[in-house]
Amino acid sequence: MKFYQPIDGLLGSQRRRRKGRVTFGIFGIGVLGVAIYCLILFYSDPVAEARTDQLNSLPAPDFTTVLTDQAREEHDSARAAVDDQQSARSVVALGRPQRLTGSLRRNQTLFIAMRQAGIEPDNIQPVVEAVDDLFDFRHAQPGHEWEAELDEDGRITDFRYGVSPEEVYAATRQADGTYTSHRVEVALQTQVEGFAGTVITNVYDAVQSVGEGSAVASRFMSIFRW
């Protein structure tokens, strides 16, 4: 004879087993979460944290000093240009021949350089046009030198533009007011010298930083231009 467990007892046992499974599942999920969290902490990137701490420890840049130095440099440059212009104009106003010289600065054209020296635009343009037939002033570089002989009326009688010691162009005023231009024949004596340096900003500044003049720096600029 077989005896069967009452239905109520059977259902109660199944509920207990199901409840135990749910409890075990929740406990397992919790343990798994704790394990993942520990792994994340263990394998975190110490290098990245060290870099972050290093960046945070760096002093903030002093933009006030940078702006102050830049403003001072611009002010000094503008003041020098004004002084040159006022000095040249006072000499021209004397009504006697004179000789003016100068060299191109950074971001400065020949026309602007001569204008700041006190020469009137109407006297500059014919000379620039005459020399432009031989030398393209779009290739003018800082350090190129110029020289102008003026008469008592401020008109240019003779003009020279030096790209380098061996490359010089000249323009001469004729009786009818026009200008003729030519390249000056320069006698050269070759001498081999060596120097070395490091280019930080540009070739021109690097050459000048080792003690060479603007003419040599301009020559190097023309070589590496292409």
| Separation in Å, CA 213 to CA 19, 49, 81, 161 | 94, 50, 22, 16
Domain membership flag for residue 214: no
Q: What is the distance between the alpha carbons of residues 62 and 114, in angstroms, rounded to a whole number?
A: 38
Confidence of residue 204 (pLDDT cuts 50, 70, 90): confident
Report H helices in the chain.
7-42, 46-57, 63-92, 110-116, 121-132, 203-209, 214-224
Q: Identify the DSSP state of 107.
A: T
Domain membership flag for residue 47: no
- The confidence score (pLDDT) of residue 221 equals 74
Highest mean pLDDT among 45-49, 52-56, 129-133, 205-209: 129-133
- Rounded to 5 degrees, what angle do the CA atoms 109, 115, 119 make? 135
Residue-level length of the chain: 226
Domain membership flag for residue 75: no
Q: What is the distance between the alpha carbons of residues 147 and 101, in angstroms, rounded to a whole number?
A: 4
Together in a domain, 19 and 99:
no
Count CB neighbours of 224 within 10 A.
Answer: 11
Count CB neighbours of 7 within 10 A.
Answer: 8
- The confidence score (pLDDT) of residue 196 equals 80
Together in a domain, 111 and 181:
yes
Whether residue 63 is predicted with pLDDT greater than 50 in this model: the reply is no
Together in a domain, 33 and 101:
no
| CA 121 to the chain's CA centroid | 31
Together in a domain, 28 and 99:
no
Of the candidates 122, 130, 162, 129, the one whose C-alpha atom is nearest the C-alpha of residue 146 is 162
Percent pLDDT > 70 in the chain is 57
Q: What is the distance between the alpha carbons of residues 135 and 127, in angstroms, rounded to a whole number?
A: 12
Together in a domain, 37 and 107:
no
Place of tokens 């030198």: 145
Instruction: Read off the pLDDT of each residue in 45-49 and give the average, rounded to a whole number.
Output: 51
Q: Count how many domains the chain has.
A: 2
Together in a domain, 163 and 100:
yes
Domain membership flag for residue 109: yes
For residues 92 and 186, the model is more confident at: 186
For residues 133 and 44, the model is more confident at: 133
Together in a domain, 177 and 108:
yes
Rounded to two decimals, what is the model's pTM? 0.47
Together in a domain, 13 and 99:
no
Domain membership flag for residue 198: no
Domain membership flag for residue 7: yes
For residues 215 and 113, the model is more confident at: 113
Q: Which of 13-27, 138-152, 212-226 has the lowest mean pLDDT?
A: 13-27
Domain of 28? 1-41
- The confidence score (pLDDT) of residue 10 equals 46
Residue 172 pairs with which residues in a beta bridge? Answer: 158, 180
Domain membership flag for residue 113: yes
Domain membership flag for residue 155: yes
Q: What is the distance between the alpha carbons of residues 15 and 24, in angstroms, rounded to a whole number?
A: 14
Q: Identify the DSSP state of 60.
A: P
Whether residue 182 is predicted with pLDDT greater than 80 in this model: the reply is yes
User: What CATH number corresponds to the domain at position 143?
Assistant: 3.10.450.350
Q: What is the distance between the alpha carbons of residues 181 and 170, in angstroms, rounded to a whole number?
A: 5
